[in-house]
Structure 1
Amino acid sequence: MTIQRRLTGFPRRCKAPLRGPRPPMTLRYAIWSFLSGTLGILAIFEITSLVGQPLLIGSFGASAVLLFGATESPLAQPRNLVGGHLVSATVAVIVVALFGSTPLTIAFGVGLAIFAMNLTHTTHPPGGATALIGVQGAVGPGFILVPVLAGALILLVTALFTNNVVYHRRYPRHWL
């Protein structure tokens, strides 16, 4: 198919219903999401103060949305949470080591992280932000363990507790 035919059909391919299906949302679920997300981020801050190492990066806020607000999502499961952040952090370290930190390498790092997460079946959307943060900050290999692995594990432990202590939630749906 030629590019001209693809472009001609583009508006038709963008057609979609105005509204899509929405699963029911209860006030109880929303309140528990709020409390759990708050606890998850506070846990990272508390452990940061205990160990004296900064463990919080912006992408963990997006991970909290998935872990505490969309617990059933495949993208929120432990393999995706931990694997997606680790794969993306590793990509960031490699990109910085090979090419440095420029607008082009930041964009390349995000694209490469998406590619690597897709290939490893660890897609976790906040991983893209982890790669961006890593390349933009010109990080070294230590970034993979601290803050990325440490922070992701803190969020995972928090999600395991908060999503299983109440009867209306269950997490994870699967480990791998």
Structure 2
Amino acid sequence: MKRRLSVVMRRNVAIRKRLARVPRRCRAPIRGIRAPMTLRYAFWSFVSSSAGLLAIAEVTRLLGHPLLIGSLGASAVLLFGATESPLAQPRNLVGGHLLSALVAVGVVALLGSTPLTMALAVGISIFLMNLTHTTHPPGGATALIGVQGAAGFGFVILPVLTGVLILLAVACLTNNVVYHRSYPRHWL
């Protein structure tokens, strides 16, 4: 009993020490170093991201099935505004969204759609994206959207896979048609 109490007390001390370090570890310069942004790059981000989302809207009209979900807008930010980011590369884009959509479908099938399962789906998605090297931040939104909408397996194909492939095709076209961009940096 005495030994157990000692272990608990040591853990409490360790936790207090970690918590005391938090403010110090949050210190950072007020301003960070930023790469210069050109008007040309910003303008082309606007044009190409608009083209990507309009392409999804047009396929939505042709198929009669809604394909535009919020997480695809977030992917557009990476694909057209941060093309060199590792998180914007095709493996991350496709893998992150698909993995997260599958997690959402599995969580809904096993546990239903509640605030707890929404949080679990996002956490599980991040965990699996990290393990598979497919981290794509909008994937977390895909998991949340899927559980919130109580998605079935069709969610993986329409809207997720279809929307992601349309964005990828537009990114490959628009980011390579101008001389100041190149996409992707790598496929896998």
Q: What TM-score do the two structures reach when normalised by structure 1? A: 0.98
Q: Which residue in the other structure is 1:11 paired with?
A: 23
From 11, 32, 51, give the equivalent of 2:63.
51
Superposition deviation, residue 50 in structure 1: 1.1
Consecutive unaligned residues in structure 2, runs of 5 or more: 1-10
Q: Which residue in the other structure is 1:77 paired with?
A: 89
Q: Which residue in the other structure is 1:160 paired with?
A: 172
Counterpart residue type for residue 47 of structure 1: V
Distance 2:124 2:165 in 1: 23
Distance 2:110 2:31 in 1: 45
After superposition, the C-alpha distances for 1:48-92 in whole angstroms (9 at most, x for unaligned) are: 111221111110000000000000000000000000000000000
Secondary structure of 2:155's partner?
Answer: helix
From 146, 154, 166, give the equivalent of 1:142.
154
The number of equivalent residue pairs is 176
Q: Which residue in the other structure is 2:111 paired with?
A: 99
Q: What TM-score do the two structures reach when normalised by structure 2? A: 0.92
Q: % of aligned pairs identical?
A: 74
Residue 101 of structure 2 corresponds to residue 89 of structure 1: yes
RMSD: 0.8
Residue 183 of structure 2 corresponds to residue 171 of structure 1: yes
- Higher radius of gyration, 1 or 2: 2
Question: Runs in 1 of length 4+ with deviation above 3 angstroms?
Answer: none
Q: How does 1:124-143 map onto structure 2 within 5 Å? A: 124-143=136-155
Superposition deviation, residue 45 in structure 1: 0.4
From 54, 65, 69, give the equivalent of 2:77.
65
Counterpart residue type for residue 90 of structure 2: P
Distance 2:96 2:33 in 1: 27
Consecutive unaligned residues in structure 1, runs of 5 or more: none
Q: Which residue in the other structure is 1:122 paired with?
A: 134
Secondary structure of 1:119's partner?
Answer: helix
Q: How does 1:22-41 map onto structure 2 within 5 Å? A: 22-41=34-53
